[in-house]
């Protein structure tokens, strides 16, 4: 009997919106479990992109003709929609970038180079994605600031006692991942924000793995900055979001210069456009932004609480099934306290071998260090395999993963 699905989602109806899920490889239907890297895109979002290029394609904020006006309105409305989706006060706090990495670099360069210096500290965690870790590491080298790391314990949780000791009056920025893309840990970002603000520090939250999977309210978290990407939440590639509190974005100088982001230009100097356009130099990500707004609509129609519940149930089910393998190593917290992913190593089988064999069964998972190389070094492993889930995945697909792993295990016995 096929395992029962979440009562809150009509998964079979959802799957019909995703044409790529119907693909077969050598007669075997695709099982896509690499959603933490990139989610698939529903017809509604694909159609939004196609309709833009068929009917509205024009540059924004630069033309008085009808197409430009229509594109400008749609693009500006997309900022409003994304602001609503994450609980921002308005479009002034939502900057469109090309990905979460660019969002982090924008703050690191526009704020960090101006504000950091010798004696200042940046506090991160040992589970940070390279997008944050490498960026702040390099900014620290440029400014003379020091980077410190909140330890991760054996179960994959942050050591919050250590966090309270590490975050001091010398701390200028706390940069923390909301959900670990390797461990599945859901970090207490609101508590970390309180600790940071008690020391007059700012907090930057990497929401790349949280915004697609759970309700997020940046004001409730009290994040000063928050970043995420469209391609992990049913949207297109090529668009990310930087949220920043309005007063902070007002005070910051732009990171990129050129057209669109200016108010007045002379041969001697320039002044900047109002928010958020001040940080969107050049022709922006117009079609991607409009499509991201459609992805927000799609997720809200399902209900983010339902999205969260479904993903957590699949992760717990997968954790329990994988735990039956002898000698398996599962990274991160227990199955009932994690986000929608499970990273693991099957005995002595290298993660890359696991992924390649699973591919023979049309099961797509990730293998490698997942852009968390220092974390893998701390755990004493070179790589891990990762199965990550989304709204269109089923428990039956987890069973197919398990069956393929049984075949993998037998090959290396």
Q: How far apart are CA 136 and CA 396, in angstroms?
A: 41
Q: How far apart are CA 255 and CA 283, in angstroms?
A: 15
Backbone dihedral region of 200: left (phi > 0), alpha (psi from -120 to 50 degrees) or beta?
left
Q: How far apart are CA 181 and CA 170, in angstroms?
A: 29
Is 296 known to be catalytic?
Answer: no
Number of H helices, E strands in the chain: 15, 17
Using the 8-state DSSP alphabet, how is residue 391 labeled?
Answer: T
Q: CB of 132 within 8 A of CB of 161?
A: no
Q: CB of 89 within 8 A of CB of 83?
A: yes
Catalytic residue among 21, 58, 371, 381: 371
Half-sphere exposure of 356 (CA within 13 A, CB side): 6
β-sheet bridge partners, residue 342: 387
Q: How far apart are CA 131 and CA 129, in angstroms?
A: 5
Contacting residues for 301 by C-beta, under 8 A, at least 6 apart: none
Half-sphere exposure of 78 (CA within 13 A, CB side): 29
**Closest listed residue to residue 189, CA positions, set 154, 237, 223:** 223
β-sheet bridge partners, residue 87: none
Q: How far apart are CA 333 and CA 180, in angstroms?
A: 11
Report, as residue numbers or ranges, the catalytic residues: 371
């Amino acid at each position: 009997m096929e395992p029962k699905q979440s009562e809150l989602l009509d998964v079979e109806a959802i799957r019909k919106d995703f044409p790529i899920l119907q693909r077969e490889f050598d007669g075997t239907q695709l099982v896509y479990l690499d959603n933490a890297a990139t989610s698939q895109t529903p017809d509604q979002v694909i159609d939004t992109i196609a309709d833009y290029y068929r009917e509205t394609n024009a540059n924004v904020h630069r033309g008085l003709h009808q197409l430009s006006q229509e594109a400008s309105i749609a693009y500006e409305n997309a900022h409003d929609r994304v602001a609503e989706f994450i609980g921002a006060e308005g479009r002034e706090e939502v900057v469109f970038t090309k990905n979460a990495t660019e969002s982090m670099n924008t703050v690191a360069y526009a704020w960090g180079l101006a504000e950091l210096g010798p004696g200042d500290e940046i506090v991160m965690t040992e589970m940070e994605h390279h997008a944050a870790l490498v960026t702040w590491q390099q900014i620290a080298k440029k400014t003379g600031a020091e980077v410190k790391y909140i330890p991760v314990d054996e179960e994959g949780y942050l050591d919050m006692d250590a966090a309270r000791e590490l975050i001091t009056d010398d701390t200028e920025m706390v940069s923390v991942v909301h959900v670990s893309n390797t461990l599945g840990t859901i970090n207490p970002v609101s508590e970390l924000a309180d600790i940071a603000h008690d020391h007059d520090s700012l907090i930057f939250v990497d929401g790349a793995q949280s915004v697609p999977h759970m309700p997020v309210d940046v004001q409730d978290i009290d994040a000063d900055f928050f970043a995420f990407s469209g391609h992990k939440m049913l949207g297109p590639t090529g668009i990310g979001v930087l949220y920043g509190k309005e007063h902070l974005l007002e005070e910051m100088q732009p990171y990129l210069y050129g057209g669109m982001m200016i108010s007045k230009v002379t041969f001697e100097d320039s002044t900047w456009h109002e928010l958020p356009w001040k940080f969107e130099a050049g022709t922006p990500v117009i079609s991607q932004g409009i499509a991201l707004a459609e992805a927000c609509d799609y997720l809200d129609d399902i209900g983010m609480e339902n999205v969260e519940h479904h993903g957590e149930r699949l992760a717990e089910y997968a954790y329990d099934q994988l735990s039956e393998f002898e000698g398996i190593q599962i990274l991160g917290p227990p199955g009932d306290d994690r986000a929608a992913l499970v990273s693991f190593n099957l005995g002595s089988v290298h993660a890359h071998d696991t992924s390649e064999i699973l591919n023979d069964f049309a099961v797509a998972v990730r293998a490698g260090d997942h852009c968390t190389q220092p974390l893998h070094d701390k755990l004493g492993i070179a790589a891990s395999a990762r199965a990550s889930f989304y709204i269109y995945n089923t428990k039956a697909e987890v069973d197919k993963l398990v069956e393929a792993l049984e075949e993998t295990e037998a090959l290396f016995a």
